[in-house]
């Protein structure tokens, strides 16, 4: 059984007999999965290998980009361009239609970012990302900011706004279906915080939405479905919380989970990057599409 059911509502989201299927393995540490709905393929990061990998049903796993700037979180902007959080280059980049990789966020008030980690794009085109220090190593990666922030890049790409700076290790980030709530988890504190989104795109009224307990996993990647349920990595797999913050249960994964993404023909396939492998589980409810 692939489920640890804590509340029967979980069975409205995932079949009791659902299987967690291994699609590919042999990586060093997988992260940042992202589904391409037209090409019907998945991109994901292999951070230590400095590669973005590609997977599809016909070809299996191949290399999409090498080197990747030790990429982590991936998404698409409103124009369909690939947006990448690059640990090694301490920036967020965009891949243009011509294939050029350009920096769109690398400094805040003249100081280099830590190591952009996870990212989400709002329907107005603004880009939100977390900036913990996980990618910093050695003298070349000296920390310049004295906090670990969460940022918003304006739709026109000209203004980078610090939204909050009191996280220990901000990591996964996603919006509620109507984008009225921004969820951000803190890996070190083992919890998810929720913020109300203001008309200008900034956030307020931060509060703890849910907490995790246990070993073999921490809050990292995070997504929501169309009904507002929150899916986040944690001990033993993917923890699922109802919109009212009730813990519904855990999708059990054989390896330590790092991130997840919706995909497939109807956005009901949940792809999971976990340590050395890529997994997939089919769900009953659609996830929020990335377009």
Q: pTM of this prediction?
A: 0.97
Residues 30-53, buried b or exposed e (16+ Cβ, 10 A)? bbbbbbbeeeebbbbbbbebbbbb
The C-alpha atoms of residue 182 and residue 64 are separated, in whole angstroms, by 30
pLDDT score for 141:
74
Q: What is the CA radius of gyration of the chain?
A: 17
Question: Which pLDDT belongs to residue 87?
Answer: 96
pLDDT digits (tens, 9 = 90+) for 149-176: 999 999 999 999 999 999 999 999 999 9
Specify the pLDDT at position 291.
73
What letter would DSSP give residue 29? Answer: S
> So what's the pLDDT on residue 279?
98
- What is the per-residue pLDDT for 197? 98
The residues, any chain, with a CB within 8 Å of residue 99's CB and separated by 6 or more, are none
CB 108 within 8 A of CB 152: no
pLDDT tens-digit profile, the chain (291 residues)? 589 999 999 999 999 999 999 999 999 999 999 999 999 999 999 999 999 999 999 999 999 999 999 999 999 999 999 999 999 999 999 999 999 999 999 999 999 999 999 999 999 999 999 999 999 976 567 899 999 999 999 999 999 999 999 999 999 999 999 999 999 999 999 999 999 999 999 999 999 999 999 999 999 999 999 999 999 999 999 999 999 999 999 999 999 999 999 999 999 999 999 999 999 999 999 999 997
What pLDDT is recorded for position 138? 65
Contact 145, 111 (CB under 8 A): yes
């Amino acid at each position: 059984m692939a489920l640890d059911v804590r509340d029967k509502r979980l069975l409205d989201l995932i079949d009791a007999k659902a299987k967690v299927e291994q699609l590919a393995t042999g990586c060093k540490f997988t992260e940042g999965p992202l589904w391409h709905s037209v090409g019907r393929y998945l991109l994901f990061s292999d951070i230590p290998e400095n590669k973005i990998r590609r997977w599809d049903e016909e070809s299996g796993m191949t290399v999409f980009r090498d080197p990747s700037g030790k990429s982590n979180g991936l998404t698409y902007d409103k124009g369909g361009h690939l947006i990448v959080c690059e640990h090694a280059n301490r920036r967020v980049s965009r891949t243009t239609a011509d294939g050029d990789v350009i920096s769109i966020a690398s400094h805040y008030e003249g100081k280099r970012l830590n190591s952009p980690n996870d990212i989400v794009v709002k329907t107005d085109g603004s880009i939100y990302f977390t900036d913990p220090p996980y990618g910093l190593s050695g003298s070349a990666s000296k920390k310049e900011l004295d906090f670990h922030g969460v940022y918003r890049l304006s739709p026109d790409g000209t203004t980078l706004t610090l939204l909050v700076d009191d996280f220990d290790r901000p990591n996964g980030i996603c919006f509620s279906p109507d984008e009225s709530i921004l969820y951000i988890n803190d890996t070190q504190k083992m919890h998810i915080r929720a913020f109300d989104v203001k008309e200008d795109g900034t956030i307020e009224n931060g509060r703890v939405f849910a907490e995790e307990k246990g070993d073999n996993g921490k809050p990292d990647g995070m997504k929501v479905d169309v009904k507002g349920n929150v899916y986040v990595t944690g001990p033993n797999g993917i923890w699922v919380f109802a919109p009212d913050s009730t813990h519904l249960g855990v999708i059990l994964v054989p390896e330590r989970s790092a991130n997840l993404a919706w995909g497939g023909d109807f956005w009901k396939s949940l792809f999971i990057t976990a340590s050395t492998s890529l997994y997939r589980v089919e769900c009953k409810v659609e996830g929020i599409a990335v377009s």
